[in-house]
Amino acid sequence: MRYDSSHKDQTRDRILGEAAAAIRQHGTRGVSVAQLMANAGLTHGGFYAHFGSKDELVAEAILRAFDDSRALSISRIEGKPPAEGLAMLIDGYLSDRARDMPERACPIPSLAGEVARMGPRARERFEEGLTRLRGRIAGLLVPLGHDAAAAEGLAGSLLAEMIGAMTVARALPDAAASSAVLADARARVKARAGVA
């Protein structure tokens, strides 16, 4: 079973990708190492050839989750003018689809509660992803007439409302009420961003 030199890196990447999806969907405590490895087509024993512990994997998977959802969002908005791009980012973030597919969506609503109870390593990765996302929103606000500081502040506020609305929408038991929360939040956040 000796493989070429890039094989191990590819396997590690596959485990990380599965973890990034699974922890967003089931929470960090809702996925076992064995299940994760099975998702990646492997057996659990090999896990420790790639990661020192489950905690270490989780910390890395948080950043990977930010990367994946960012890539997805960027691919949809690419080439659009700022106002349209920002409106699409907000609509995408707060879509029913994003609510129903947390494994592909922004990790903040699904994981922030748990991250608050985790060690510094996971929290630093979380902060890194969060800062980048806020910076991306701010970057779309600047060409709309805000100076850099105002754009960062407004971006933080808009992101907070989006996080809160998605968090609530995912917890509500009634699908119609949940969709209403998202629709209202989309309208309000876009209005506040000046891209309604």
Partner DNA sequence: TGTACATCAGTGAACGCGCGTTCACTGATGTAC
CB of 101 to DNA, least distance (A): 22
43 is a site residue for DNA (CB under 7 A): yes
Identify the burial level of 71 via C-beta atoms within 10 angstroms of its C-beta, where 0-12 means exposed, 13-18 middle and 19 or more buried: exposed
156 is a site residue for its own copies (CB under 8 A): yes
Residues within window 160-189 making contact with its own copies, judged by CB under 8 A: 160-165, 167-168, 170-174, 177, 181, 184-185, 188
The secondary element (H helix, E strand) that includes residue 138 is: helix 120-141
For residue 46, the partner it binds in DNA, its own copies, none, with Cβ less than 5 to 8 A by kind, is DNA
For residue 115, the partner it binds in DNA, its own copies, none, with Cβ less than 5 to 8 A by kind, is its own copies
Tell which residue, 113, 108, 102, has the closest CA to residue 29. 113
For residue 54, the partner it binds in its own copies, DNA, none, with Cβ less than 5 to 8 A by kind, is DNA
Residues within window 111-140 making contact with its own copies, judged by CB under 8 A: 111-117, 120, 123-124, 126-127, 130
CB count in 10 Å sphere of residue 163: 17
44 is a site residue for DNA (CB under 7 A): yes
Q: How far apart are CA 139 and CA 156, in angstroms?
A: 12
> Apex CA 51: angle with CA 50 and CA 54, to 5°?
140
User: What is the total count of residues that contact its own copies (CB under 8 A)?
Assistant: 43
Residues within window 48-87 making contact with its own copies, judged by CB under 8 A: none
b/e burial code for range 89-128 (CB count within 10 A of at least 16 → b): bbbbbbbeebbeebbbbbbbbbbeebbeebeeebeebbee
Contacts to DNA by CB under 7 A: 1-4, 7-8, 11, 31-35, 37, 42-50, 53-55
